[in-house]
Amino acid sequence: MGLTSRSLLYAMIAVAVVCVGLTLWLWPRFAGRGPRALLGRLGSIFATQLAIVAALGLVVNANFQFYGSWHELLGLYDDAPAAVGKWGDQGTAGPVGDPSKGLVQPSGPEGLDKVHGLPKGAPEQAGKVETVRIVGKRTRAVNPAYVYLPPQYFQHGYDRQRFPVVVALSGYPGGIFLLGQHLRLPQTAGRLIRAGKMQPTVIVMLRPTIAPPRDTQCVDVPGGPQAETFFARDVPDALRSHYRVGHDPGAWGLLGYSSGGSCALQLAMRHDRTYTAAAALSPDYKVSNDPTTGNLFGEGRDRVRRRQEYDLMWRLRHLPAPRVSVLVGTSRTGEKNYPAARAFLDAVKPPMRAESVVLNHGSHNFATWRRELPAALEWMGRSLSFPDDVVGNS
């Protein structure tokens, strides 16, 4: 049974119930003081607790999709080692794909069948969400994706039209399921497009790590995963090869929450010739090593410089401002990053532009980010240019 299958979930819940029942039934038999009675009590407690924790873990994973398979849970990946610090050929880690078979490849459901409220009906009327695997031409990294295609993408009047595109990144350790089910990104975008509050836009939903379970923070790790190259170069090349999306950077934006928001800011400010807009909900403003990331900056003389260049406040003070527009979402109370958000916004200087969505109160959770999302998407619609070129033009 698959890790996310309902059969496994229900079976584990049944096992937990049976263990509780057996413990209650057998407990009087373990009332003595001998070794057998003591071992019986310990064994029943251990078995019951293990069954309950396993059932709760499956419930949480089914709801949040932290791990999509047994291989992912155990850190086992084809053609690549799983542990931090053990890397595959040419600095790659995590799943490895074959770009010769296409940069955008068909995928299984990836949890999409469990997302509520997705478009229903004919694509030309409701739009469509599909699942694919994006394969890096340079990195050979593989990342599952949901792709929202607006109704206009399928309408006759737009059959040669290219569309603006938003690359949306989840937080860590969550995945694309959270963007669909809990952030409700495709549902919200569809509603805004139908209401005329957002221009028709292709939205590509990705997780920010390319080497799970390691948190790669959208960084090209020396001797490790090349996450920045994947998101800054491989993803745009892959999407342009498969979908009718704009070629000009003015049609490209990033959106993310938590660590995905941090990635959105980093990628836009470091690659303003690829992305010209970024909306970041509850982001951090610098990249730091922690137990989930391992050593992101390598060793040697370049280590300090690399760490500085991933500190956005340092970049604003010491480097020319990029020609990008950014939106930061934060809350005055309930989130720890409000002072950092204010400092970042105050440090922005032309030609970079910055705006904000500031709630009076909001915690670091989906309830807060769902409140901020409509404003962020409407802002993104105003910030991205609708492509003038059509299919057949370079």
**Helical (H) or strand (E) element with 304:** helix 302-309
Q: What angle do CA 65, 149, 352 make, to 5 degrees?
A: 85
In whole angstroms, give the CA distance from residue 177 to residue 17.
Answer: 29
Fold of 90-383: Rossmann fold (3.40.50)
pLDDT at 67: 59
Instruction: Give start and end residues of each alpha helix (H) in 116-244.
Output: 123-126, 176-181, 185-194, 227-229, 235-242
Dist CA 52 CA 48 (whole Å): 6
Q: State how beta strands 128-135 and 142-149 pair.
A: antiparallel
Q: Are 139 and 102 in contact (CB under 8 A)?
A: no
SS3 103: coil
Using only C-alpha atoms, the chain has a radius of gyration, in whole angstroms, of 23
List the structure tokens of 137. Answer: 């031409």
For 241, list phi and psi in degrees, rounded to 5.
-75, -15
For the chain, the domains span: 6-63, 90-383
Say if pTM beats, i.e. exceeds, 0.85. no
Strands 165-169 and 142-149: unpaired
Residue-level pLDDT, tens digit, the chain, 394 residues: 666 677 887 888 999 899 898 888 888 877 777 788 888 888 888 988 998 998 888 877 665 555 556 655 665 443 332 222 232 333 345 567 788 889 999 999 999 999 999 989 999 999 999 999 999 999 999 999 999 999 999 999 999 999 999 999 999 988 999 999 999 999 999 999 999 999 999 999 999 999 988 999 999 999 999 999 999 999 999 999 999 999 999 999 999 999 999 999 999 999 999 999 999 999 999 999 999 999 999 888 889 999 999 999 999 999 999 999 999 999 999 888 899 999 999 999 999 999 999 999 999 999 999 999 999 999 999 999 998 877 776 5
Q: Who contacts 136 (Cβ-Cβ below 8 Å, separation ≥6)? A: 97, 99, 103, 142, 210, 226, 229, 230, 234, 235, 238
d(CA 344, CA 350): 14
- Which residues lie across from 15 on neighbouring strands? none
Report which secondary-structure segment, H or E, holds 129: strand 128-135
d(CA 377, CA 388): 21
Tell me what pLDDT residue 100 has.
84
